[in-house]
Amino acid sequence: MRDALSTKIASELCARIHSGELKENDKLPSERILASQYDVSRNVIRESIKILVEKNLVINIPGKGNYVSRPTQSSIADKLENAIHLSDVPASEIVDARQFLEISVMEKYLLSITEQEVAELEHLYEKMESARGNYALFWEYDTKFHLQLIGCSKNSILTLFLSTLYRMTQKNIIMNSEDPVSAVAFSQSDHAEIIEAVKTKDRERLCHAIERHLSPLHEFYKEEV
């Protein structure tokens, strides 16, 4: 009975947060006041608050009380990643999903990519060029390049989902390669092709470049199985 009550009250408080009635940084009423409002025990309210804390909608500050919070993109991505891991999805399927979504998203939003966004991709490309001999640094810029590319959709849900899949398939192929010099050259060739496809708004060229760029990742996970 208590579980059902605490879940129901947590849902009602959640609705008040989503509606804006309870705003970020607002302090929740005390357990005593909430217990009186909902005509339940303080233990039930305590469990309801615990549910909201687990959902990252409320934070507890010892000695001060409970405050409305907002889930960060990072915390949502962590939960999404954990859910995928717990479902035992093969890594190869995650790579397939990433490729399908990345190509689909770039096809849809290709025409809306701005000159400033292209310039940022070119800037990151130059950073990778200067880091060719430093594979760890090259990989860091490579990560920023892909996150910048994903962010060009300007769709927060797609960006969140794709960036999570990217993080889950973020293997430093270069560091694991028997020939890292060639791996860097291969990667940079793809990056240059992606940039040119974006600049010329060439969908077919872009799709081919992304598929080619992800091919080592497919091979990596095939060997891992």
Both structure tokens of 111: 């025409």
The model carries a pTM of 0.69
Distance of CA 64 to the CA centre of its chain: 32
Which has more pLDDT, 83 or 119? 119
Specify the fold of 2-68: Arc Repressor Mutant, subunit A (1.10.10)
Nearest to 149 by CA among 189, 186, 196, 198: 198
Q: How confident is the model at residue 36 (pLDDT cuts 50, 70, 90)?
A: very high
Q: Above 70 in pLDDT, residue 223? A: no
Averaged over 32-49, what is the pLDDT? 93
**Residues 164, 80 contacting (CB under 8 angstroms):** yes
Q: Above 80 in pLDDT, residue 53? A: yes
**Residues 152, 117 contacting (CB under 8 angstroms):** yes
Q: Show me where the domains of the chain are located.
A: 2-68, 75-224
Query: Tell me: the pLDDT tens digits for 104-135?
Result: 999 999 999 999 999 999 999 999 999 998 98
Averaged over 4-12, what is the pLDDT? 91
Which has more pLDDT, 198 or 171? 198
Averaged over 133-144, what is the pLDDT? 90
Q: Above 90 in pLDDT, residue 218? A: no
Q: Above 60 in pLDDT, residue 225? A: no
Q: Which helix (H) or strand (E) covers residue 6, if one does?
A: helix 2-19
pLDDT of residue 1: 47
Nearest to 187 by CA among 165, 225, 214, 147: 214
Q: Above 50 in pLDDT, residue 45? A: yes
CA–CA separation, 71 vs 50, rounded Å?
15
Mean pLDDT of the residues in the chain: 89
Q: Above 90 in pLDDT, residue 163? A: no
pLDDT of residue 103: 92
Which has more pLDDT, 81 or 46? 46
Within 10 A of 113 (CB to CB), how many other CB atoms are there?
18
Instruction: Give Cα separations from 195 to 126, 168, 182, 222 (angstroms).
Output: 12, 24, 20, 28
CA–CA separation, 79 vs 156, rounded Å?
16
Q: Above 50 in pLDDT, residue 216? A: yes
**Residues 204, 121 contacting (CB under 8 angstroms):** no
pLDDT of residue 144: 92
Q: Above 80 in pLDDT, residue 72? A: no
Domain at 75-224: CATH code: 1.20.120.530
Averaged over 190-200, what is the pLDDT? 96
pLDDT of residue 74: 77
Within 10 A of 90 (CB to CB), how many other CB atoms are there?
11
pLDDT of residue 172: 64
For residue 65, which phi and psi values (nearest 5 degrees)? 130, -165
